Amino acid sequence: MLPAELTQILARLRDRAHHMPPTQLQQVLAREWGADWRRRFAYFNATPLAAASIGQVHRARLPDGRELAIKVQYPGVRESIDADVDNVATLLRVSGALPKELDLAPMLAEAKRQLREEADYLREGEQLRLFGTLLADSPHYVVPTLEPEFTTDRVLAMSFVEGIPIESLGASTQDVRDGAMRSLIALVLRELFEFRLMQTDPNFANYRFQPATGRLVLLDFGATRTVGEDTAVGYRRLLEAGLAGDRDAVRDAAVAAGFLGEAAVTRHRPLVDRMIDVILVELTRDAAFDFGDRAFVGALRDQGMAMAADRETWHIPPIDTLFVQRKISGTALLAARLGARVDARSMLVEQFGRMTAQAEM
């Protein structure tokens, strides 16, 4: 929705994350761990493995030989959250990207709350440990182990897990790409429908891959949030209607779940139905879905842009849905990036079948 010029500025800011100078890093860790913190390590690399907008990650080794990944939060990040979100809201208003009638206040308030949670590393450590428990029975995922001795509200310590960037799988075989994305999609379904707990940040850097085992390494649980029952039920009804190829049921479920506003359906029913038909063709096809084939996206974009021109019908979905959809859309984007082919329809049918069987027990 943003003008191209503003998008380019924000992209440059995102890509230019700088790490802390050694002196500042020393000050931060001395404050969190005490002045003699280095004596507790056999090795600590002051050059970060990665640097992002909230913190940077270092590799370290304990005297007993255990390798750790240690995330250190930048000073002042937590204190700047409210001002940063307000500045983004100002950019949106000044740019005219959004109609004045849209009430952004609830969304901005939730963004601030979410970012405060992401900046609380004690909370993230709890989520890390919880996901390790939830996925302990699955051979497809690796979750680092929390190291509570070195974890504070601004430093997060965990076991270091080897892996390659997941986006580098673009050069791998089709089977490897398909398998990795099948595991990730299965995880999203379990988060939404079984755990009712979802890590909602789909940043590619949050996933790594182990070629030798075929397992996904899951990183960064700061954006984990519970999924409300209404949200999960809304997604299930929408997807089950899609699997059945029932256009009317899809439309009704989309409105009930808050994906579509009543005004958009009333004023643009033919456009809405054409978009649903495009999606149903893909969802009801008895074959693996080729995420790399983006031909259908153009058709959806054309219909969507025609609807978007009528700004009076713009609609903000429920906050919970926005965060869940962020994860789903980001997962689909990664699948497209890798050109993966996954029988998502069969996965949905299997997921809902399991849920029905469990409910009947």
pLDDT tens digit sequence for 24-59: 999 999 999 999 999 999 999 999 998 877 899 999
User: Which pLDDT value is given to residue 296?
Assistant: 79
Range 208-239 burial, b when 16+ CB lie within 10 A, else e: bbeeeeebbbbbbbbbbbebeeebbebbbbbb
Print the SS3 string covering the chain. Answer: CCCHHHHHHHHHHHHCCCCCCHHHHHHHHHHHHCCCHHHHCCEECCCCCEECCCEEEEEEECCCCCEEEEEEECCCHHHHHHHHHHHHHHHHHHHCCCCCCCCCHHHHHHHHHHHHHHCCHHHHHHHHHHHHHHCCCCCCEECCCECHHHCCCCEEEEECCCCEEHHHHHHCCHHHHHHHHHHHHHHHHHHHHHHCEEECCCCHHHEEEECCCCEEEECCCCCEEECCHHHHHHHHHHHHHHHCCCHHHHHHHHHHHCCCCHHHHHHCHHHHHHHHHHHHHHHCCCCCEECCCCHHHHHHHHHHHHHHCCHHHCCCCCHHHHHHHHHHHHHHHHHHHHCCEECHHHHHHHHHHHHHHHHHC
> Which of the following is catalytic: 201, 246, 293, 302?
201
Query: Residue 1 pLDDT more than 60?
Result: no
Classify residue 99 as exposed, middle or buried by CB count within 10 Å of its CB (0-12, 13-18, 19+): exposed
pLDDT, mean of residues 70-81: 93
User: Which pLDDT value is given to residue 176?
Assistant: 97
Tokens describing residue 14: 């995102």
pLDDT band for position 272 (cuts 50, 70, 90): very high
Query: Residue 119 pLDDT more than 90?
Result: yes
Counting residues of the chain whose pLDDT is more than 90, the rounded percentage is: 73
User: Which pLDDT value is given to residue 11?
Assistant: 57
If one compares 41 and 204, the residue with the highest pLDDT of the two is 41
When mean pLDDT is compared across 5-19, 52-66, 117-131, 249-263, the lowest value belongs to 5-19
Active site residue 273: no
Query: Residue 78 pLDDT more than 70?
Result: yes
Mean pLDDT of the chain: 91
User: Which pLDDT value is given to residue 6?
Assistant: 63
* pTM as predicted: 0.90
Between CA 261 and CA 351 the distance in angstroms is 28
